[in-house]
Amino acid sequence: MTGAGRGIGLAFARRLADAGHRVVLTDVDGDAAQRSAAEIGRGAVGLPHDVRDIAAHRRIADEAAELGRLAVWVNNAGVLFAGDAWSHPDVEIATILDVNVRGVMAGSAAAVAQMGQAGGAILNVASISALGPVPGLALYAATKAAVLSYTSSLQGDLAHAGLPIRAHALCPDVVGTQMVSTRAEDPGAALLFSGPKPLDADDVARAGLELMAGRQIFRVVPRWRGALVRGLDIAPAAGLTVLGVVRRIGDRRQARGALRSR
């Protein structure tokens, strides 16, 4: 479980522990991972893990296998940067690709190698932003689209190889996590604050476990929002016009929030 020191990752770890799994929580903040593991108890283990390090995924998989059969792997770690698509400094471009895309690919490969013919489930946390344009969050949306595409292709490769491993991608709408709340006054992140109340991390984790229990490759949470976003994709130019209006709603909500915080 990557990125499990807090937020969605921690919620997944709790749910998996409740389901009887012994969980290994990893996070770039190793202390946070250890604190979360102690909170969960039941033999949970917390380890430092920078998902940008490809070899580190294999080491984590080996350590997890020493505790028992590796049955579930969740690639949850992610970062978000907001702003006009052309405005991001080099370090943001490199970081978001390394964490959100390379981390998922390396984690999935390590999980497949460790699970092998014993089988298991891989869950990659993508986003509803994978389904269409998200002005202001172009880098984030592009990486999550890559995660969704990679997961579908991964499942095809697994089926072709005859490996009893299921790959899934979860695409939640905005979730009330620290990653989102820290962007409350960032103008580029207006779309994050334009819709209904953010989802609860535990509800997202529950949907993820339901997804892994079946054969569906990806699921949008909530489902109706996925249908709405895909509808905008039918006519891209018109869809971007609609998103421009929605973005201005987010701008106003951000402004009101900023005034209240002063």
Mind listing the pLDDT tens digit for each residue in 181-198? Answer: 888 777 777 778 777 789
Per-residue DSSP letters for 11-51?
HHHHHHHHTTPPPEEEESSHHHHHHHHHHH-TT-EEEE--T
Instruction: Report the greatest alpha carbon distance in the chain.
Output: 59
- What pLDDT, in 10s, does the model give residues 20-77? 999 999 999 999 999 999 999 999 999 999 999 999 999 999 999 999 999 999 999 9
For residue 150, indicate whether it is catalytic: no
190 touches 254 (CB < 8 A):
yes
Residue percentage of the chain with pLDDT more than 90: 74
Confidence at residue 252, expressed as pLDDT on a 0 to 100 scale: 76
Please report which confidence band the pLDDT of residue 259 belongs to, taking 50, 70 and 90 as the band edges.
very low
Which secondary-structure segment (H or E) carries 110? helix 103-115
Predicted confidence (pLDDT) per residue in 85-98, tens digit:
999 999 999 999 99
- Given a contact cutoff of 8 angstroms between Cβ atoms, the answer to whether 49 and 29 are in contact is no
Supply the pLDDT for residue 260: 44
The per-residue pLDDT for 261 is 38
Residue 102 in this model has a pLDDT that exceeds 60: yes
Most confident option among 81-95, 174-188, 215-229: 81-95
Selected catalytic residue, list 12, 73, 81, 140: 140
Which comes out higher in pLDDT, residue 93 or 178?
93
Give the chain's mean pLDDT: 91
pLDDT, mean of residues 238-262:
65
Which pLDDT score, from 0 to 100, does residue 237 have?
73
Query: What is the predicted pLDDT for the residue at 207?
Result: 98
Q: Identify the CA nearest to 173 among candidates 125, 214, 216, 206.
A: 125
Distance, CA of 94 to CA of 253 (rounded, Å): 31
CA distance 16 to 45: 13
How far, in Å, CA of 79 to CA of 189, rounded? Answer: 13
How far from 203 is each of 2, 36, 178, CA to CA, in Å? 18, 18, 16
> pTM score, two decimals?
0.89
* Per-residue model confidence as pLDDT tens digits over 118-141: 999 999 999 999 998 888 999 999
Q: What type of residue is 156?
A: G
Report the distance separating Cα 130 and Cα 226, nearest Å: 10
Per-residue b/e over 92-128, b at no fewer than 16 CB within 10 Å?
Answer: eeebbbbbbbbbbbbbbbbbbebbeeeebbbbbbbbb
